[in-house]
Amino acid sequence: MKPTTLHNIQGGNEMIKVIQKAKGPLKGTVKIPGDKSISHRAVLFASIAEGTSTIHGFLRGQDCLSTISCMRELGVEITETDDVITVEGKGSSGLAEPDKLLDVGNSGTTIRLLSGILAGQEFYNVLAGDDSIAKRPMRRVTGPLKMMNASIDGRDFGNYTPLTIRGGNLQGIHYFSPVASAQVKSAVLLAGLYANGQTTVTEPFLSRDHTERMLRTFGVEVETEDLSATIRGGQKLQATKVEVPGDISSAAFMLVAGAIVPESEIKLDVVGINPTRAGIIDVMKRAGADVTLENERMLGGEPVADIRIKASSLKAVEIAGADIPRLIDEIPVLALLATQAEGTTVIKDAAELKVKETNRIDTVVNQLNKLGASCEATEDGMIIHGPTPLKGAEVESFHDHRIGMTMALAGLISEGEVKVKDTEAIAVSYPDFFEDLKGLLN
Ligand SMILES: O=C(O)C1=C[C@@H](OP(=O)(O)O)[C@@H](O)[C@H](O)C1
Ligand SMILES: C=C(OP(=O)(O)O)C(=O)O
């Protein structure tokens, strides 16, 4: 029996996890769960394709399950087994007006990408989600979709949920997005499939390109050049088999755990290393982490590898500019890494962190400081002085999966127990996180 350093206590309605310092190195292999961004897209695109698609390695996280349930409300037949999701595509004009509000739960990707598809439908839709979604800005998507001719409303003139959408009769545009956001790019390109003429999105820095890659595997022509992607309206999607690689954003937690718990060595199997997502690997290497890629190959249009991480001494780095969209969701856990690095880590150009599930600049800085870290919030990022020893405390996740996992890992290197509140949220992107972590404890 392995000694347990993780246990639960129930506090009111919340699940509190208690994490104690790891008694030894983390060792072993983890099969990283499916990529969240790719899983969402697979269900959305298969739903509007002609024919039956299968999705293998789908992430059964809460967010992707929200996408499935919205598509079912729109009349799509989707069956689930442990190994495969089967989607009976409705073709480009086969979705049906839902009887109910479309509930996106906690998922920004669901509401923003689905809005792009619904902008192409003539029927009436209402979309809403949880308290976090209610605070996240939607104008970045509803603005360009309205320019294309969709009728959209919502609180603050279409900026906040509930959103109502009635589309159809769209006109192609060239949209210059002020933010590097794959959700914005994808929503506009998906609407572009239903528009007259062609639709181009140009962004300030390249965001993840899973939409462009996967649309091609469904038989759609998408042209890409530097920071622009173009799609011609009226193209049909043909059903296909989608293989979902492991999510580098989930692998990030195991990479950081392996780097900061002394003498650890972990192997992570079949992880997506798409260059628009793999910023964490470059940054960790710059910080002196011992990360190696093995068995690099392609899986369903996406590059993947097995990744090995060994603990090493770490130094501070600057993270800014074009790096930011390539690792935006990994910044909370990179901040934990930075507390253990020698010197001052500066993260800037990352104001987007303020409009995620929580304001991740504030939540990361405040919770890490409770554990004895030395972090300062800035307008567009944070400054972290390291290395600092961490100590036990009670910390909040604020129902943000990435904050919950970051705090749990902090417990592995803290003197004294770290109690993390509201850890249920972790099921949004990594339902087996604690089981996988336990498997590495010796
Ligand atoms: O397109 C996607 O699948 C995602 C894009 C990113 O959001 P933005 O588009 O808002 O940058 C990321 O933070 C999110 O977790 C998933
Ligand atoms: C920001 C995230 O997701 P979404 O925008 O889909 O809610 C995330 O997973 O960290």
3-state secondary structure of 91: coil
pTM of the entire structure? 0.98
Q: What is the pairing mode between strands 414-420 and 381-386?
A: unpaired
Please, is 159 exposed, middle or buried when counting C-beta atoms within 10 Å of its C-beta (0-12, 13-18, 19+)?
middle
Q: Which two tokens stand for residue 238?
A: 């043909």
Determine the Cα–Cα distance for residues 281 and 306; give it in Å rounded to an integer.
Answer: 12
**Residue 170, φ and ψ in degrees, nearest 5:** -80, 155
For this structure, is 323 an active site residue?
no
Query: 352 C-alpha to center of ligand 2: Å?
Result: 11
Residues whose CB is less than 8 angstroms from the CB of residue 5 and which lie 6 or more positions away in sequence, other chains included:
19, 20, 21, 22, 23, 411, 412, 441
Catalytic position from the list 306, 329, 422, 436: 329
Query: 36 C-alpha to center of ligand 1: Å?
Result: 10
Which of the listed residues 38, 39, 109, 209 should we mutate to test ligand 1's pocket, taking the one with most ligand atoms within 8 A of CB?
109
C-beta separation of 63 from 110 below 8 A: yes
The answer to whether 20 is a known ligand-binding residue is: no
C-beta separation of 23 from 442 below 8 A: yes
Query: 320 C-alpha to center of ligand 2: Å?
Result: 20
Q: From the CB of 61, is ligand 2 less than 6 Å away?
A: no
Q: From the CB of 105, is ligand 2 less than 6 Å away?
A: no
Query: 140 C-alpha to center of ligand 2: Å?
Result: 15
The answer to whether 17 is a known ligand-binding residue is: no
Please, is 290 exposed, middle or buried when counting C-beta atoms within 10 Å of its C-beta (0-12, 13-18, 19+)?
middle
Measured in whole angstroms, how far is the alpha carbon of residue 5 from the centre of its chain? 27
Q: Which two tokens stand for residue 442?
A: 């010796």
Determine the Cα–Cα distance for residues 297 and 289; give it in Å rounded to an integer.
Answer: 23
Which of the listed residues 106, 110, 277, 328 should we mutate to test ligand 1's pocket, taking the one with most ligand atoms within 8 A of CB?
328
Nearest ligand atom owner, CA of 207: 1
Q: From the CB of 107, is ligand 2 less than 6 Å away?
A: yes
Topology agreement, domain 6-34+246-440 and domain 36-243: yes
Nearest one of 88, 110, 134, 117 to 36, comparing CA atoms: 110
Query: 183 C-alpha to center of ligand 1: Å?
Result: 5
Residues whose CB is less than 8 angstroms from the CB of residue 289 and which lie 6 or more positions away in sequence, other chains included:
255, 259, 309, 312, 314, 337
Determine the Cα–Cα distance for residues 329 and 369; give it in Å rounded to an integer.
Answer: 20
The answer to whether 285 is a known ligand-binding residue is: no
ipTM of the complex: 0.99
DSSP 34: B
* Atom of ligand 2 at shortest range from CA of 133: 7
Nearest ligand atom owner, CA of 189: 1
Query: 184 C-alpha to center of ligand 1: Å?
Result: 9
Determine the Cα–Cα distance for residues 279 and 322; give it in Å rounded to an integer.
Answer: 9
DSSP 247: P
pLDDT tens series, the chain, 442 aa? 354 578 888 776 678 999 999 999 999 999 999 999 999 999 999 999 999 999 999 999 999 999 999 999 999 999 999 899 999 999 999 999 999 999 999 999 999 999 999 999 999 999 999 999 999 999 999 999 999 999 999 999 999 999 999 998 999 999 999 999 999 999 999 999 999 999 999 999 999 999 999 999 999 999 999 999 999 999 999 999 999 999 999 999 999 999 999 999 999 999 999 999 999 999 999 999 999 999 999 998 999 999 999 999 999 999 999 999 999 999 999 999 999 999 999 999 999 999 999 999 999 999 999 999 999 999 999 999 999 999 999 999 999 999 999 999 999 999 999 999 999 999 999 999 999 999 999 7
Nearest one of 112, 142, 125 to 44, comparing CA atoms: 112
Determine the Cα–Cα distance for residues 180 and 47; give it in Å rounded to an integer.
Answer: 26
Determine the Cα–Cα distance for residues 108 and 323; give it in Å rounded to an integer.
Answer: 21
DSSP H or E segment with residue 384 = strand 381-386
**What pLDDT is recorded for position 4?**
53
Determine the Cα–Cα distance for residues 201 and 240; give it in Å rounded to an integer.
Answer: 25
**Residue 79, φ and ψ in degrees, nearest 5:** -115, 145
Q: Write the class of the CATH domain 6-34+246-440.
A: alpha beta
The answer to whether 277 is a known ligand-binding residue is: no
Please, is 122 exposed, middle or buried when counting C-beta atoms within 10 Å of its C-beta (0-12, 13-18, 19+)?
exposed
C-beta separation of 46 from 89 below 8 A: yes
The answer to whether 37 is a known ligand-binding residue is: yes
Ligand 1 site: residues with CB under 6 angstroms?
37, 109, 181-183, 186, 207-208, 328-329, 352
Which value, to the nearest 10 degrees, does the dihedral of the CA atoms of residues 54, 209, 383, 332 take?
Answer: 0
Write down the CATH superfamily of domain 36-243: Enolpyruvate transferase domain (3.65.10.10)
**Residue 275, φ and ψ in degrees, nearest 5:** -55, -25
Determine the Cα–Cα distance for residues 302 and 294; give it in Å rounded to an integer.
Answer: 15
182-193 and 210-217 helices cross at what angle (nearest 10)? Answer: 30
The answer to whether 136 is a known ligand-binding residue is: yes
Which of the listed residues 62, 211, 329 should we mutate to test ligand 2's pocket, taking the one with most ligand atoms within 8 A of CB?
329
- What are the residue ranges spanned by the domains of the chain? 6-34+246-440, 36-243
Nearest one of 357, 373, 372 to 426, comparing CA atoms: 357
